[in-house]
């Protein structure tokens, strides 16, 4: 396999670590294995494209690690309780609030939006994590962790409110932010990121366990030695990360919005309980802009994946646009960007089609030249991906190879072996990009009508119109002789044998 080899035989992957503010070479706890925890979605409404950007870059990163020969143990949780509307641990639980608004229960809301989240992430060809634990399935683990923090002297109770973490007792609280305790407190007060609550000892203190209101039965509540209630959002991640990955993990991922509150809290809980370092590398992805502005519901620039599909774009275009900017830069999501993503995917598809049509014998000297060019581009691509996921540069390498090959084809210099190796390079790139180019080639055999029907079926599924989706599937089989299969990564076509 090409790429820079580190001394232990795995690719030398470099990561910008938020904790050190430096790009560091990944050194895993266990040779050949990477343990990653990514903060997952809060399942109270449809995921928007900004949420999906986060999961797309994490997917690309995981695929890069795997291409380097690593085994990846990837945990991404589902937050289905305890994420309150305000960072100050006040306000209603987002799920409960969504349930009240929709005259449903928090349990039904959680089920519905968890399912929908997986539908969309699979549609965007984001691989399922190794484990997707639900917070509500891990209440005992969270309570056990709170008990440890209790034993270690970190907690206090606010009457009729909940059990809180006294952040002043955790010596290095907030180290992820690059500020000390006093600086961070001032920053949070000054920036009004968190409201001051008169009962909290420090502005940075946060709820580990919230009590149910005395006169109200919540949809989601559990009995505990601290009283009937529900867990705080932060304790969920510490408990689930520890359960599935151990007390210390290699990499923890999330959005930049987690640098100042959620992740410092995770560190305080985990390290306060175990006395061991929680995470070796912290990776944070930037936000998305829509048409150069902050995404906003009131301004009509808030898009879910379904919204974009309904406008006639396919999942590949959405995925492409979402990964096309470096994960630590803001991504400007525009309809022009989707159009240009479409053109880029077409160029990839076209070259594969052209290469696939070549059956001539190879000229040895030409083959040797082509092979050298192809291999150097594979190396270059991996070098960029391994350097803190430099996708824009890696894409330039892909298109440089495509231009070269197009020219070679025009000049009649490529034979069958050469074309196969060039197709191999495209599939090598695609093992990271995840555009399913191989499937595009299979679909080449299907008539255009079928491709259009598949797009319609994608939209039907996005709208949860399963009756229409089934009807389209039957039409494709009866009229065109193709079987449509639904899998983790979307729809697949297979020629029916008859």
Question: Which residues sit at the interface with Zn ion, rule CB under 5 A?
Answer: 39, 237
Residue with smaller CB distance to Zn ion, 72 or 237: 237
Strands 482-487 and 279-285 come out as: unpaired
What is the spatial distance between Cα 287 and Cα 478, in angstroms, rounded to a whole number? 45
Q: Which of 90, 103, 109 is nearest to 45 (CA)?
A: 109
Residue with smaller CB distance to Zn ion, 237 or 453: 237
Q: Give the sheet arrangement for strand 288-290, strand by strand.
A: 293-294, 288-290, 331-333
What is the spatial distance between Cα 237 and Cα 257, in angstroms, rounded to a whole number? 15
Alpha helical stretches, state H, 106-179: 106-123, 139-151
Q: How far is the CB of 371 from Zn ion (least distance, A)?
A: 46
Longest CA pairwise span in the chain (Å):
83
Residue with smaller CB distance to Zn ion, 54 or 64: 54
Q: How far is the CB of 414 from Zn ion (least distance, A)?
A: 49
Residue with smaller CB distance to Zn ion, 237 or 290: 237
Q: How far is the CB of 57 from Zn ion (least distance, A)?
A: 16
Q: How far is the CB of 129 from Zn ion (least distance, A)?
A: 13
Cα torsion 168, 171, 174, 180: sign: positive
What is the spatial distance between Cα 484 and Cα 450, in angstroms, rounded to a whole number? 10
Q: How far is the CB of 202 from Zn ion (least distance, A)?
A: 21
394 contacts: CB under 8 Å, gap ≥ 6: 381, 384, 385, 429, 432
Residue with smaller CB distance to Zn ion, 10 or 282: 282
What is the spatial distance between Cα 380 and Cα 398, in angstroms, rounded to a whole number? 9
Residue with smaller CB distance to Zn ion, 259 or 394: 259
Residue with smaller CB distance to Zn ion, 39 or 261: 39
Q: How far is the CB of 268 from Zn ion (least distance, A)?
A: 13
How many Cβ atoms from other residues are within 10 Å of residue 91's Cβ?
12
Q: How far is the CB of 496 from Zn ion (least distance, A)?
A: 45
* Cα three-residue angle 429-430-435, rounded to 5 degrees: 145
């Amino acid at each position: 396999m090409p790429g820079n080899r580190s001394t232990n035989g795995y690719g030398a992957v470099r990561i910008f670590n938020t904790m050190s503010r430096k790009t560091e070479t990944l050194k895993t706890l266990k040779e050949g294995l990477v343990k990653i925890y990514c903060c997952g979605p809060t399942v109270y409404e449809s995921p928007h494209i900004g949420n999906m950007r986060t999961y797309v870059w994490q997917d690309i990163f995981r695929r890069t690690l795997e291409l380097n020969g690593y085994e990846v143990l990837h945990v991404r949780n589902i937050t289905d309780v305890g994420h309150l509307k305000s960072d100050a641990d006040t306000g209603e639980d987002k799920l409960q609030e969504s349930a009240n608004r929709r005259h449903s229960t928090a349990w039904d809301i959680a089920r519905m939006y968890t399912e929908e989240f997986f539908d969309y992430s699979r549609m965007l060809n984001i691989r399922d994590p190794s484990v997707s634990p639900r917070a509500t399935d891990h209440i005992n683990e969270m309570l056990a962790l709170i008990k440890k923090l209790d034993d270690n002297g970190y907690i206090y109770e606010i009457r009729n409110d909940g059990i809180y973490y006294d952040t002043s007792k955790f010596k290095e609280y907030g180290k992820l932010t690059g500020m000390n305790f006093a600086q961070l407190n001032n920053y949070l007060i000054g920036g009004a990121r968190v409201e001051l609550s008169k009962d909290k000892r420090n502005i940075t203190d946060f709820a580990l366990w919230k009590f149910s209101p005395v006169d109200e039965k919540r949809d989601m509540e559990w009995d505990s030695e601290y009283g009937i209630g529900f867990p705080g959002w932060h304790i969920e991640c510490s408990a689930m990360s520890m359960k599935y990955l151990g007390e210390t993990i290699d990499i923890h991922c999330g959005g930049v919005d987690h640098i100042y509150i959620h992740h410092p809290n995770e560190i305080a809980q985990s390290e306060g309980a175990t006395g061991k370092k929680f995470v070796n590398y912290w990776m944070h992805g930037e936000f998305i802009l829509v048409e150069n502005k902050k995404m906003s519901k009131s301004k009509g620039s808030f898009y879910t994946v379904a919204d974009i599909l309904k406008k006639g774009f396919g999942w590949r275009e959405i995925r492409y646009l979402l990964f096309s900017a470096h994960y630590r830069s803001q991504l400007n999501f525009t309809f022009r960007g989707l159009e240009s993503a479409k053109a880029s995917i077409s160029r990839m598809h076209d070259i594969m089609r052209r290469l696939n049509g070549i059956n001539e014998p190879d000229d040895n000297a030409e083959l040797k030249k082509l092979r050298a060019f192809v291999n150097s581009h594979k190396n270059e691509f991996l070098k960029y991906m391994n350097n803190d996921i430099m996708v824009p540069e890696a894409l330039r390498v892909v298109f440089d190879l495509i231009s070269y090959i197009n020219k070679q084809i025009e000049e009649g210099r490529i034979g069958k072996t050469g074309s196969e190796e060039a197709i191999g390079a495209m599939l090598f790139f695609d093992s990271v990009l995840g555009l399913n180019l191989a499937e595009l080639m299979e679909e080449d055999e299907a008539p255009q009508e079928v491709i259009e029907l598949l797009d319609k079926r994608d939209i039907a599924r996005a709208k949860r119109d399963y009756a229409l989706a089934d009807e389209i599937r039957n039409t494709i089989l009866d009229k065109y002789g193709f079987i449509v299969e639904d899998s983790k990564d979307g729809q697949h076509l297979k020629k029916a044998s008859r």
